[in-house]
Amino acid sequence: MNNRELIKNAFEDIAPSDELLEKVKSSQTADNRSRPRLRKGIIIPVAVCFAACLGVTAAAVTGNLDFDVLFGDRIKVADSELAEELVGKVSNVRYSVSDDDYIVSVAGVTGDSDTLYAVIEISRKDGTPVTEHFQNPADFDHNDYTWLEDNVKINNAVGFTAQMSWGGGFGQSITENGNIIYTMDIEGDEPISGKVISAEGDTLVGWDKYNEICDETNSYYGMNKGEYGFYDKDTHEPVQVDISSVVAIPLKWSISFKYTASDKSLDVLTCKAPEEKATFRLKSPDEIGDKIYEGGSERYEFECTVKLIEISPTGGKMDIEFPGNENNDFFRGVVTGIENEMYLVMTDGSLIPVSMNGWSGKLENGTAEMTLHLAYRQQSDYFRNYMDTSEVCALSFNGTEYPLG
């Protein structure tokens, strides 16, 4: 491949295709959303590179990048100018595929220093819909798919097993024009911006029918003793399972890129040292665990100290600490039943709901330290909102307001 071809392919690797621009028509309803799956990151190898691009944004290549087209099935921004300013940059993009007829590209990224929402597109070089080449295209729903293997890595950080802890939701969908979309919604306990993000997938299958086969054969696909394969659910011994009837495409792909958050996303409001006592609420200890909650509303409350609050246009975080011991119910309760009321207080007096989007923490020397990751949405909402921080004046936490500036 000569330099001219390399440069051409590099730009193709960034620009969203015409097919992706139709995605907004098919992904605004609940029935057509991708299905995110929460999991930890896993180490993946970076395969041979076919394209590279340095310091280029999707917007730079395509002109006016439509934020709602790329991210509107997950993220809402009321102001179009703000949305454009929150599009991040990618550089050093590299990808590989097991079939040279396919292209893997970064359609767009957004987020802030500690978070990333990336849209990856898998398309064909000849422009034909990927779905025309599926082995079993029959009656699969547009979003009823999963990769048999799909892994994400941030530099050398491997989910919660590495020095840098992070978690995320990953999903895939099919556009109306037949290309594959893979999304990464990840958050770290230290900056992600400036790091290399890698992802890979292997063998796209119909999700529901694949699960039916696993149920019928009492098997699962996963890693056991360092090797991927099918294993018996009871004995965990290797078994032979025929999934040929549910394989959409036996493609293996990988992509890596350096992510840089936009300058606007780094406009952070802080309440760095509030040293304010607050009430943290969980469901009662009796409701934590395997019991099914029925009726009533008994809250388990305890006092915590708020150490740090940071609010950015795309989300926020809140550091708290409280006395703890090995028998403390907090670490289980924080997962099963948080009942806190949080809002952004806007300059016009309106309130924007805030929910917890994840947490990290440690218990050491009798003190529990927790970082609560915040999203601007109701806890039950699928969509999250991005905000203009110039219109935010405080965070309300269970009735206590913390001024921000």
Radius of gyration of the chain (CA): 22
Closest C-alpha to 314, from 146, 151, 109, 97: 109
Amino acid at 285: P
CATH number of the domain within which 140 lies: 2.60.40.1630
Instruction: Say which residues have a Cβ less than 8 Å from residue 97's Cβ, sequence separation at least 6.
Output: 50, 103, 104, 251, 252, 253
Same domain, 260 and 287: no
Sheet of 247-260: strand order equals: 89-97, 247-260, 196-206, 145-154
Q: 324 pLDDT exceeds 90?
A: no
Residue after which a domain boundary falls, among 220, 248, 264: 264
Q: What count of other Cβ atoms lies within 10 Å of the Cβ of residue 214?
A: 16
Residue after which a domain boundary falls, among 221, 242, 264: 264
Residue 331 belongs to what domain range? Answer: 267-403
Count of structural domains within the chain: 2
Same domain, 247 and 324: no
pLDDT tens digits, one per residue of 212-245:
999 999 999 998 888 889 999 999 999 999 999 9
Which helix H or strand E contains 9, and what residues bound it? helix 3-12
Of 17-21, 30-34, 365-369, the poorest mean pLDDT is in 30-34
Closest C-alpha to 185, from 174, 194, 172: 172
Same domain, 271 and 303: yes
Of 255-259, 283-287, 312-316, the poorest mean pLDDT is in 283-287
Same domain, 259 and 271: no
Same domain, 340 and 226: no
* Percent of the chain with pLDDT strictly greater than 70: 68
Of 179-183, 186-190, 284-288, 377-381, the poorest mean pLDDT is in 284-288
The DSSP string of 37-72 is EEE----------S----SB-HHHHHSS--HHHHHT
Which pLDDT score is estimated for 275? 62
Distance CA 153, CA 198 (A): 5
For 372-384, give one letter per residue: b (16+ CB within 10 A) or e.
Answer: bbbbbbeeeeeeb
Question: What is the chain's mean pLDDT, rounded?
Answer: 75
CA dihedral 174, 176, 179, 182 (to 10 degrees): -40
Bridge partner residues of 150 (DSSP): 201
CA distances 314 to 69, 114, 259, 279, Å, are 18, 10, 16, 25
Which pLDDT score is estimated for 323? 74
Token digits of residue 286: 């009796």
pLDDT-derived band at 281, boundaries 50, 70, 90: low
Which pLDDT score is estimated for 283? 52
Residue with tokens 């004995």: 235
Instruction: Say which residues have a Cβ less than 8 Å from residue 74's Cβ, sequence separation at least 6.
Output: 33, 117, 183, 185, 382, 383, 384
The DSSP string of 128-184 is --GGGG-SS-SS--TT-EEEEEEEEEETTB-GGGSSS-EEEEEEEEE-TTS-EEEEE
pLDDT-derived band at 325, boundaries 50, 70, 90: low
Residue after which a domain boundary falls, among 215, 249, 264: 264
Distance CA 80, CA 83 (A): 5
Distance CA 136, CA 188 (A): 37
Q: 53 pLDDT exceeds 50?
A: no
Distance CA 86, CA 316 (A): 15
Same domain, 58 and 206: yes
Q: What count of other Cβ atoms lies within 10 Å of the Cβ of residue 399?
A: 9
Q: How far is CA 232 from the centre of its chain?
A: 30
Same domain, 282 and 200: no
pLDDT tens digits, one per residue of 348-401:
999 999 988 777 777 777 787 888 889 998 766 778 899 999 999 999 988 888
Which pLDDT score is estimated for 164? 54
Same domain, 238 and 143: yes
Same domain, 244 and 274: no
Same domain, 148 and 84: yes
Same domain, 68 and 97: yes
**pTM, rounded to two decimals:** 0.76
The DSSP string of 316-380 is EEEEEEEE--TT-SHHHHHHH-B---EEEEETTS-EEEEEEEEEEEEEETTEEEEEEEEEBS-TT
Mean pLDDT of 163-186: 81
For 95-117, give one letter per residue: b (16+ CB within 10 A) or e.
Answer: bbbeeeebbbbbbbbbbbbbbbb
Q: 112 pLDDT exceeds 50?
A: yes
Instruction: Say which residues have a Cβ less than 8 Å from residue 343's Cβ, sequence separation at least 6.
Output: 351, 352, 353, 354, 395, 396
Which pLDDT score is estimated for 111? 94
pLDDT-derived band at 272, boundaries 50, 70, 90: low
> Which three-class secondary structure state does DSSP give residue 100?
coil
Same domain, 273 and 371: yes
